[in-house]
């Protein structure tokens, strides 16, 4: 007959057996949840470190060309080129203009690193349809079949907090009437487009940091909440709004101004020094001439 102590031992739960089953059960449950809710893609994407390129709303390799009253929130830079035209009438806040100087060079160096990081993220989710219009996507890394061109017709919805990286070994074209909508905690600072050739944005709205190897051309009247960063060629604007200010601490800086480190004035659409600066110089010249005339008159009277 079993003693009371033996009966208590038999009645105790078998925790060793539960531990053996608990681990696999939790693992299967987590895997199922990740598949159902799209978490596998979210785990694949890590934020892209832009380094010294972070405060730039626009960065180009050769030129930045603007037509009309575009507005830029964030710095504007060019390197190794130095040409910036159309500011004014274009204006900027929360940054400065840097051309062919140490600041612009550092930003381009870090852009190269960021571009390579974005291109290497994955494994990506392959989109069999190269046109993302009409899609609703969760955080993750995306590219088309054979890493081909990306297009956007209609609205793309990004739903959920996290990092979104879009990779293309070719071009990116956001067609007229396209937009990128953010839901569920998604932010423009966490959206990155790695483009191996040129990017064309016709909007009316676009979201994220575009890192293009060659050119970035923005159509008329487009609003971009993010950055336009071109490695080797130019960036073109036409009456656009480029706003990267949500992605770095705001400043009180405004431009156009002389390019720091070079003394090169930023030219307007017609070239040369801006009209306001020219008026100021003429005013100073007139004041100087008047002072000389008064001095001569007083000297003659004294004689």
Q: Given a cut of 80, is residue 294 above it in pLDDT?
A: no
Residue 267's contacts (CB-CB under 8 Å, 6 or more residues apart) are 84, 85, 87, 273, 274
What is the tens place of the pLDDT at every residue in 179-221?
999 999 999 999 999 999 999 999 999 999 999 999 999 999 9
What is the tens place of the pLDDT at every residue in 157-187?
999 999 999 999 999 999 999 999 999 999 9
Task: Tell me the mean pLDDT in the region 242-261.
Answer: 79
Residue 206's contacts (CB-CB under 8 Å, 6 or more residues apart) are 174, 178, 179, 180, 222, 223, 224, 225, 226
Nearest Cα neighbor of 41 from 194, 171, 158 is 158
pLDDT of 283 = 42
Going by pLDDT thresholds of 50, 70 and 90, the confidence category of residue 253 is confident
Q: Indicate the range of 36-40, 62-66, 285-289 predicted with least confidence.
A: 36-40
Domains in the chain: boundaries: 51-255
pLDDT of 257 = 54
Q: Given a cut of 50, is residue 237 above it in pLDDT?
A: yes
């Amino acid at each position: 007959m079993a003693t009371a102590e033996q009966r208590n031992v038999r009645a105790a739960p078998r925790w060793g057996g539960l531990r053996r089953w608990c681990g696999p059960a939790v693992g299967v449950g987590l895997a199922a949840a990740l598949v159902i809710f799209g978490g596998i893609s979210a785990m694949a994407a890590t934020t892209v470190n832009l380094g010294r390129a972070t405060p730039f709303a626009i960065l180009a390799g050769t030129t930045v060309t603007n037509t009309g009253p575009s507005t830029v929130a964030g710095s504007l830079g060019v390197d190794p080129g130095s040409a910036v035209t159309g500011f004014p009438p274009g204006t900027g806040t929360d940054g400065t203009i840097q051309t062919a100087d140490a600041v612009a060079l550092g930003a381009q160096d870090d852009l190269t690193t960021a571009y390579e990081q974005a291109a290497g993220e994955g494994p990506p989710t392959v989109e069999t349809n190269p046109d993302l219009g009409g899609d609703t996507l969760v955080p993750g890394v995306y590219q088309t079949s054979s890493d081909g061109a990306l297009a956007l017709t209609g609205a793309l919805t990004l739903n959920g907090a996290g990092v979104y990286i879009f990779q293309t070994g070719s071009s990116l074209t956001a067609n007229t009437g396209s937009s990128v909508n953010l839901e569920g905690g998604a932010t423009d600072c966490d959206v990155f487009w790695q483009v191996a050739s040129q990017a064309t944005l016709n909007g009316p709205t676009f979201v994220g940091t575009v890192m293009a190897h060659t050119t970035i051309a923005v159509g008329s009247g487009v609003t971009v909440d993010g950055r336009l960063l071109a490695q080797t060629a130019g960036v073109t604007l036409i009456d656009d709004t480029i706003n990267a200010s949500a992605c770095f601490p705001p400043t009180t800086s405004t431009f156009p101004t002389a390019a720091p480190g070079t003394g090169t004035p930023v030219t307007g659409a017609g070239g040369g020094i801006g009209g306001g600066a020219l008026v100021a110089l003429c005013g100073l010249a007139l004041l100087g001439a008047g002072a000389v005339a008064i001095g001569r008159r007083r000297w003659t009277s004294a004689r």
